[in-house]
Amino acid sequence: MIRITLVEGDLTEQAVDAIVNAANNDLVLGSGVAGAIARRGGPQIAAECAAHGPIAVGEAAVTGAGLLPARFVIHAAGMALGGRATPESVGRALRASLEHAARLGIRTLAAPAIGAGVGGLALQTCAEISIDCARRFAEEQGEGCALEEIRFVLMGEPVYRLFEMVNDAAKVEAQMRRMARRGRGQGD
């Protein structure tokens, strides 16, 4: 089963198979998470993005990770260049990223709060969409997926605490559903 974990830290320092970039659909590495990836990863990532882009909002593209400790960067297009992220676009882009990870046989994936920075999406909404998307993907994949961990890497304690609260609430809800099924004699 895929584990969903939360850490406070810098996405570009994660030694994982792949990191997710909170990207625009033109795959231009400007500011925010994308800018940090460009600075730390070197020009190779931007060159590969130029070869892939543009893509549709809600899609994702994969590049190498340049000088980063990850092997791949999965660019999740949660918004148009210069535009705003929406709950739907962030959900589709994260889902597309997870599907790329599964196809590539990636075991560990680290993702930021897609759309909550430059994209302007409310952090609470971002956390709810991100946790729900990851949980649904994990449930659908079951034991047959190579992906072992979806790690949300969050900048600053307030962001971490908000994601933690949303994740804890999702765990409680899942437990309540299991208990209700048992009470009706349906088991797990």
178 in a structural domain: yes
Phi, psi at 3, each rounded to 5° = -90, 140
Q: What is the pLDDT of residues 62-117, one digit of tens each?
A: 999 999 999 999 999 999 999 999 999 999 999 999 999 999 999 999 999 999 98
Q: Which domain holds residue 57?
A: 3-183
CATH code where residue 57 lies: 3.40.220.10
Asked if the peptide bond before residue 54 counts as cis, ω within 30 degrees of 0, the response is yes
Q: Counting every residue, how long is the chain?
A: 188
Identify the band that residue 181 occupies on the pLDDT scale cut at 50, 70 and 90. Answer: confident
Q: What is the DSSP letter of 57?
A: T
Q: Is residue 62 part of a domain?
A: yes
Examine residue 188 and state whether it is found in any structural domain, yes or no.
Answer: no
Q: Into how many domains does the chain fold?
A: 1
Domain assignment present for residue 160? The answer is yes
User: What pLDDT is recorded for position 111?
Assistant: 98
Q: Give me the residue label for tokens 């900048």.
A: 155
Q: Do the domain assignments include residue 164?
A: yes
Beta carbons of 78 and 22 less than 8 angstroms apart: yes
